[in-house]
């Protein structure tokens, strides 16, 4: 194809995507407002909107109620009734499959048992097939996302997870997962990245420069700069849980010492209880939880308070170092770490007020997330549409890692 012609098509497709994105982000927007925002002519916008309407992606809700100033412009919305993204949220013991409509609402969700499955990927494929046959009748599937609690290592064709049950050699191959999800474009995304992406899209966070920290058994983080996930959503770009807060500290599986994960992760609590002289009242096999620590602090246990303060200090130290590298405006804490509650957050803020590069750290607003667990599913769908979906060149064999 002639170069000039090719460029014209490229520009047109990009514009079309941008028009769609504006309609998705600002439901009820008019053609004139889109033209203003994109700095292109209204004729151009109208032609693209017509195309999007003919293809069934956008609907014109008609003129709003007229008033004395005259007829208001027609308002556009995405056609959320007919277009969906299927999102599989893969956990250790269960698999959730949800339908997210193109207005980013979860319209239905099913949960499947994944315990004791000899071949987790084959099971995932079978669950997907049955879901898709029963739930996706009469709708257009824009794509499929699989959220994994781990790293998506495209180069080595591997999903690396310490959370998912250890499968047989090669059982978490990316190429094999691709074979299990037939017929649709597929994006494999890291869970923390999807949670992080959801904050700006669905939370009350104004900032586009922030760190999202997922505190669970371990600790993960994702960095957003200008609303863009740094390094994408593969989980391969940061290992915040393995930032050392004590170079002579407790040795970690990763080879480093004093890793943040071993200082504040829930799995580290039994060791930390011992170090701080706290009695672990759990019976064998029962897990020590953040909320157990919180209960002790509430009851006025001085040792428990000392442990919580040490955890806050370690996290503050890691965050202040991250702030020096990255200058975020906000830190959002998600995961079960939220159970550490207000006392921990107050301690964390106090410690952050005492360390780090002052000019940067004093700008940072640190809060727990206000979004629920389901935000990961919406975050995945939104990221996939924004990042990968194209109107004119999608096919069922496409694979996007991160
Ligand atoms: Zn480590």
| Per-residue pLDDT tens over the stretch 308-357 | 999 999 999 999 999 999 899 999 999 999 999 999 999 999 999 999 88
Buried b (16+ CB within 10 A) or exposed e, 229-261: beebbbbbbbbbbbbbbeeebeebeeebebbbb
Least confident of 186-195, 319-328, 379-388: 319-328
pLDDT at 71: 61
- Centre of ligand 1 to C-alpha 282, Å, is 26
Residue 172 tokens, joined: 């978490």
213 CA distance to ligand 1 middle (Å):
16
What is the rounded average pLDDT of the residues 63-67?
Answer: 55
Distance from the CA of 218 to the center of ligand 1, in angstroms?
Answer: 10
Rounded to the nearest angstrom, the distance between the alpha carbon of 92 and the centre of ligand 1 is 21
More reliable by pLDDT, 363 or 32: 32
CB 340 within 8 A of CB 216: no
Identify whether the C-beta of residue 177 lies closer than 8 Å to the C-beta of residue 121.
Answer: yes
| CA 233–ligand 1 middle distance (angstroms) | 21
CA of residue 37 to ligand 1 center, whole Å = 46
Of 53, 45, 27, 36, which is closest to residue 391 (Cα–Cα)? 53
Give residue 70's pLDDT. Answer: 58
Give how far Cα 60 sits from Cα of 4, 29, 73, 105, Å.
Answer: 33, 10, 10, 19
pLDDT above 70 covers what percent of the chain? 96
303 vs 11: CA distance, rounded Å: 63
How many Å apart are CA 191 and CA 391, to the nearest integer? 26
Instruction: State the residue for tokens 């990221």.
Output: 383
Centroid of ligand 1 to alpha carbon of 312 (angstroms): 18
Q: What pLDDT does 170 receive?
A: 57
Distance of CA 376 to the CA centre of its chain: 5
Distance 155 CA to ligand 1 centre (A): 22
Nearest CA to 241 among 149, 153, 358? 149
pLDDT value of residue 319: 96
pTM here is 0.92
Q: How far away, in angstroms, is 315 Cα from ligand 1 center?
A: 14
List, in order, residues 6 or more apart from 114 with CB less than 8 Å away: 90, 91, 92, 93, 94, 95, 120, 123, 124
pLDDT tens figures, 271-300? 999 999 999 988 888 999 999 999 999 999
Measure 247 CA to ligand 1 centroid, in angstroms: 11
Rounded mean pLDDT of the chain? 92
Rounded to the nearest 5°, which phi and psi values hold at 34? -65, -45
> What distance in Å separates the CA atoms of residue 390 and residue 29, rounded to the nearest whole number?
21
* Ligand 1 center to 116 CA (angstroms): 29
| Token digits of residue 282 | 């759990």
pLDDT at 64 over 70: no
Cα 262 to ligand 1 centroid, rounded to whole Å: 8
CA of 249 to the centre of ligand 1 (A): 11
Spatial distance between the Cα atoms of 333 and 350, rounded to a whole number of angstroms: 16
Please give the distance, rounded to the nearest whole angstrom, from the Cα atom of residue 255 to the centre of ligand 1: 6
CA 220 to ligand 1 centroid distance, Å: 11
């Amino acid at each position: 194809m002639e170069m000039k012609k090719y460029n014209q098509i490229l520009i047109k497709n990009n514009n079309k995507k941008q028009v769609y994105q504006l309609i998705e982000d600002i439901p009820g927007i008019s053609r004139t407002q889109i033209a203003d925002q994109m700095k292109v002519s209204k004729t151009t916008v109208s032609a693209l909107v017509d195309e999007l309407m003919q293809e069934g992606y956008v609907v014109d809700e008609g003129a709003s109620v007229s008033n004395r100033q005259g007829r208001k412009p027609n308002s556009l919305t995405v056609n959320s009734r007919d277009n969906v993204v299927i999102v599989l949220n893969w956990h250790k013991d269960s698999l959730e499959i949800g339908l997210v409509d193109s207005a980013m609402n979860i319209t239905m969700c099913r949960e499947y048992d994944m315990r004791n499955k000899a071949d987790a990927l084959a099971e995932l494929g079978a669950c997907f097939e049955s879901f898709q046959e029963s739930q996706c009748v009469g709708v257009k599937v824009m794509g499929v996302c699989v959220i994994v609690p781990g790293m998506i290592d495209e180069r080595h064709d591997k999903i690396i997870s310490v959370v998912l049950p250890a499968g047989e050699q090669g059982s978490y191959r990316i190429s094999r997962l691709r074979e299990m999800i037939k017929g649709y474009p597929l994006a494999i995304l890291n869970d923390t990245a999807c949670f992080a992406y959801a904050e700006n899209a669905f939370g009350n966070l104004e900032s586009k420069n922030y760190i999202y920290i997922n505190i669970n058994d371990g600790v993960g983080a994702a960095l957003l700069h200008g609303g863009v996930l740094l390094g994408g959503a593969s989980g391969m770009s940061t290992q915040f849980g393995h930032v050392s807060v004590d170079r002579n500290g407790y040795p970690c599986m990763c080879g480093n010492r004093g890793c943040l994960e071993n200082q504040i992760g829930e799995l580290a609590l039994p060791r930390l209880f011992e170090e701080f002289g706290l009695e672990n009242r759990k019976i064998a096999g029962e897990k020590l939880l953040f909320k157990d620590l919180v209960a002790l602090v509430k009851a006025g246990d001085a040792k428990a308070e000392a442990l919580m303060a040490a955890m806050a200090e370690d996290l503050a130290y890691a965050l202040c170092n991250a702030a020096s590298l990255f200058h975020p405006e906000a830190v959002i804490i998600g995961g079960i770490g939220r159970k550490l509650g207000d006392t921990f957050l107050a301690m964390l803020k106090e410690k952050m007020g005492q360390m780090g590069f002052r000019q940067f750290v004093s700008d940072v607003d640190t809060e727990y997330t206000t979004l629920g667990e389901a935000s990961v599913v919406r975050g995945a769908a939104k990221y996939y549409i924004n990042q990968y979906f194209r109107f004119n060149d999608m096919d069922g064999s496409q694979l996007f890692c991160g």
